[in-house]
Structure 1
Amino acid sequence: MIVTSNKPFGRWGEVFGNNTVATAMIGRLVHHAEVISLKGDSYGMRGATSDGVPAANTRE
């Protein structure tokens, strides 16, 4: 099973509205699991500017 999230485990309580439930879910998901955490800029945001407007295509 592959599970992905853009939120760190520490913020799952906010997402699910209950820290106890989130902790139980995380415990069951990561037991005997390989957890891969990626750091860095989002690949999906590679063309965006700081104001949120996509950068203009400068190719002619």
Structure 2
Amino acid sequence: FCRYKVLIIDELGYQKMDVDSANLFFNLIAKRYEKSSTIITTNSPFSKWADIFQEPVLTNALLDRLLHHCSVININGPSYRLKDQMQFMTEDN
């Protein structure tokens, strides 16, 4: 995963990571830091990332590397995946 110019990690935080997984993830990000692009999607605010990685010091170091040269795009609003289905959920049939 370190050799790719762009790595996309979708739904970070959907499940908590155990300590070994969190350490491996940190090592991946650290190796890619300032060398390659990484795109991460998540529904979790940065303030909740310590819950995902279960290690506050590791989380701070990870966020330090990720946020240093990043652009954060915060998308609020209804779910894109559900947009076509919402009419069926709200219509009176």
Give the structure-2-normalised TM-score.
Answer: 0.47
Structure (1 or 2) with the greater helix fraction: 2
The reply to whether residue 17 of structure 1 matches residue 43 of structure 2 is no
The CA deviation string for residues 2-34 of structure 1, in whole angstroms up to 9 with x for no partner, is: 111111100000011112211111110111111
Higher relative contact order (CA 8 A, sep 6+): 2
Unmatched 5+ stretches in structure 2: 1-37
Unmatched 5+ stretches in structure 1: 49-53, 56-60
Counterpart-to-counterpart distance in 2, 1:32 and 1:39: 23
Counterpart-to-counterpart distance in 2, 1:18 and 1:40: 30
Identify the match of residue 82 of structure 2 among 18, 41, 45.
45
In structure 1, what residue type is equivalent to 2:43? N
Give the structure-1-normalised TM-score.
Answer: 0.67
Two-structure CA RMSD over aligned residues (Å): 2.4
Following TM superposition, the consecutive aligned residue runs of length 4 or more in structure 1 with deviations greater than 6 angstroms are none
Structure (1 or 2) with the greater strand fraction: 2
Counterpart-to-counterpart distance in 2, 1:15 and 1:43: 24
In structure 2, what residue type is equivalent to 1:36? I
Counterpart-to-counterpart distance in 2, 1:17 and 1:45: 31
